[in-house]
């Protein structure tokens, strides 16, 4: 059965991308795409590339991973089947209890 990948998982080295973190993110995304067919794994970077990394990528003819704008989690990242609502008049405790549930 051919299952279509529906969600993208971004693989990031660290916030100051150097050669080892960029290459590791690229290699791990490649490995995960071969071994895990549930998602599409995409290497990205969280900052500007230094000269060494640019040299290595150019030397081996590998395109640089895209730069991701933000590492902050978004509401769209949640996979909630049934949204939860609360009124502004409700207490923070009621919200906490609802979230715990």
**Least-confidence region, from 4-8, 31-35, 63-67, 68-72:** 4-8
**Residue 35 pLDDT greater than 90, yes or no:** yes
Q: Which residues contact 28 (CB under 8 A, 6 or more apart)?
A: 11, 41, 43
SS3 2: coil
- The CATH code belonging to domain 1-71 is 3.90.1640.10
Res 7: pLDDT: 87
**Residue 76 pLDDT greater than 60, yes or no:** yes
For the question of whether the overall pTM of this predicted structure is more than 0.85, the answer is: no
**Residue 3 pLDDT greater than 80, yes or no:** no
Contact 20, 57 (CB under 8 A): no
Q: Name the band, by pLDDT with cuts 50, 70 and 90, for residue 5.
A: low
Taking the C-alpha atoms of residue 48 and residue 26, their distance in angstroms, rounded to an integer, is 16
Q: Which residue shows structure tokens 């150019």? A: 58
**Which is nearest to 12 in space by CA: 93, 69, 76?**
69
């Amino acid at each position: 059965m051919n299952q279509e990948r529906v969600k993208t998982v971004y693989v990031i080295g660290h916030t100051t991308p150097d050669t080892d973190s960029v290459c590791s993110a690229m290699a791990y995304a490649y490995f995960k795409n071969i071994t895990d067919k549930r998602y599409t794994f995409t290497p990205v970077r969280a900052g500007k590339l230094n000269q060494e990394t640019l040299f290595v990528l150019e030397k081996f003819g590998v395109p640089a991973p895209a730069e991701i704008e933000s590492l902050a989690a978004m509401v769209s990242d949640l996979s909630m089947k049934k949204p939860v609502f609360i009124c502004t008049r409700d207490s923070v405790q009621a919200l906490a209890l609802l979230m715990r549930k």
